[in-house]
Amino acid sequence: MTRVILKNVTKKFKDVTAVKNINLEIDDKEFMVFVGPSGCGKTTTLRMIAGLDEITEGDIYIGDRRINDVPPKNRNIAMVFQSYALYPHMSVYDNMAFGLKLRKIQKSEIDNRVAEAAEILGLTDLLERLPKQLSGGQRQRVALGRAIVRQPLVFLMDEPLSNLDAKLRVQMRAELQKLHRRLNATVIYVTHDQVEAMTLGQRISVILNGELQQVAPPIEVYEKPVNRFVAGFIGSPPMNFIKGVLRKSKDIFTFEASSFKFDIPKDLEFDQLLDPYQDKNMLFGIRPSDIWDVPSSAWIDRKFTIDAKVDFRELMGSETYVYLKVGDIPLVTRVGTMTDTAPGSKFTIVINLRKIHLFDPEAQKAII
């Protein structure tokens, strides 16, 4: 069992607190992704698990062992970095074998492990090449191979794909998923790219300013973000946020923005959650994919309609992002390419009320 457990883990660099009191259990063989904006503490957390940075407060366990004072080489982990830093004068084989040679592992065993890793990664025919004779994706695979041959219990990966071009990243993303299934190991993967987080993670830990915001499977983070930051960070184009006030009259809650308002259907059973917010400012959130054009919205059972005007649009090929104005309120929606979205034209939109979010604007937390 190779769970990784962080208990009240804090990291301070002099007066900078990079990681604040993180509590997290990563399951045996889980693919866990740390995601958050630049500087939020992802790398620092990973480096503490690896033993490359000292833990200021708290404890880290790998398996059942508290590893705060265990030197990195005895932690049974392997780390893959963004810069793959291969030895330029060594062949692919030697790059992968190097760490094992240092550990005085038998030549036949090294051969076996390198051959197996090369096979998994599709590098078998490239073992004699030098790094400069490889493509970026192939070099990245060698860096992964170097970690695989060590047969660690836990892989720590810090933005390993960010040096690759967009197409290669997508390809390597798929390969990493397959690799995880095949290796049967625990993986902790750091990225600031929410698409990578959504597609790779069995669970995602969203981090902001050194603090864990939400830990959940990707779909849950997407559908039930716990606060405004998570709601805005995950999803592209980002969720729309609109300021307004929550009113209650004749037992019906109404959200009132400057240029539109809507009633919240009773059968959605939000009343209890909303009661404390009567007559208070609230932030209404709706994802672009939950705003529809009239013809495609026929199936939606709880909805309301607003007249908007097309401000501008982005044609993505398979879909169109339409930037709308409802009075002075900007809204983004995603529609199919058949819809007429000429700038300046009138556009009636339908909002799926089953997908609305309301946030407490002060605490920033999600109420529904």
Ligand X SMILES: Nc1ncnc2c1ncn2[C@@H]1O[C@H](COP(=O)(O)OP(=O)(O)OP(=O)(O)O)[C@@H](O)[C@H]1O
Name the site residues for ligand X (rule: CB under 6 A).
13, 16, 18, 36, 38-44, 192
The option from ligand X, Mg ion, none interacting with 272 (CB < 5 to 8 A, set by class) reads none
C-beta of 156: minimal distance to Mg ion in Å?
12
Measured in residues, the chain has a length of 368
Rounded to whole angstroms, how far apart are CA atoms 103 and 91?
19
Instruction: Please tell me the distance from the alpha carbon of residue 13 to that of residue 309, in angstroms, as a whole number.
Output: 50
Query: Number of C-alpha atoms within 13 angstroms, CB side, residue 349?
Result: 28
**H or E segment at 355?**
none
Q: Which is nearer to ligand X, 193 or 319 (CB)?
A: 193
Nearer to ligand X, 40 or 114 (CB): 40
* H-only helix segments in the chain: 42-50, 92-102, 107-121, 136-148, 166-183, 194-200, 218-223, 228-233, 271-274
Residue among 41 and 218 whose Cβ is closer to ligand X: 41
In angstroms, give the least distance from the CB of 343 to Mg ion: 40
Q: Say which entry of Mg ion, ligand X, none residue 108 contacts (CB below 5 to 8 A, set by partner kind).
A: none
Residue 352 contact partner, candidates Mg ion, ligand X, none, CB within 5 to 8 A by sort of partner = none
- Give me the least distance between CB of 162 and Mg ion, in Å please: 9
Cβ nearer to Mg ion, comparing 11 with 303: 11
Interior/surface letters 242-255, b for 16+ CB within 10 angstroms, e for the rest: bebbbeeeeeebeb
**Cβ of residue 83: shortest distance to Mg ion, in angstroms?**
12
**Based on CB atoms, which residue is closest to ligand X, 81 or 270?**
81
Cβ–Cβ < 8 Å for 368, 270: yes
Residues 38-57 interacting with Mg ion (rule: CB under 5 A): 43
Tokens representing 20 are: 């604040």
What is the contact surface with Mg ion in residues (CB under 5 A)?
43
